[in-house]
Amino acid sequence: AQTVTQSQPEMSVQEAETVTLSCTYDTSESDYYLFWYKQPPSRQMILVIRQEAYKQQNATENRFSVNFQKAAKSFSLKISDSQLGDAAMYFCASTSGSRLTFGEGTQLTVNP
């Protein structure tokens, strides 16, 4: 079975600082995708960033970037220049066919 593990239930960061959220996964798939989704208090799931497993280059989206270590099955999210609006629950997810398997989430607090 596919598993996704987020070992940090809660993290906090000062506004304008950088924070890294950890994620490890286990899959038997040869072709898969990895995602980070953000769920603010509104509970709307928002796609933050996506990584194709066959690409060695780490994905970036403005202040968000990933450190993808395929051999270690690690997929961490770095948020630079943190903003108050980044406060949310962050979920790491991986694909198995068309299905998504989610981690348990990391609650990020941004302190002014």
Q: Where on the chain is the footprint of other proteins (CB under 8 A)?
A: 29, 31-33, 35, 37, 42-47, 50, 52, 91, 95-100, 102-105
Write out the DSSP string of the chain: --EEE---SEEEEETTS-EEE--EEE---SS-EEEEEEE-TT---EEEEEEETT--SPPEETTEEEEEETTTTEEEEEE-S--GGG-EEEEEEEEETTEEEE---EEEEEE-
CB 14, min distance to other proteins, A: 24
Cβ nearer to other proteins, comparing 35 with 75? 35
CB 45, min distance to other proteins, A: 4
Cβ nearer to other proteins, comparing 37 with 75? 37
- Please provide the distance, in angstroms rounded to a whole number, between the alpha carbons at the two ends of the chain: 41
Cβ nearer to other proteins, comparing 42 with 112? 42
Cβ nearer to other proteins, comparing 54 with 81? 54
CB 72, min distance to other proteins, A: 21
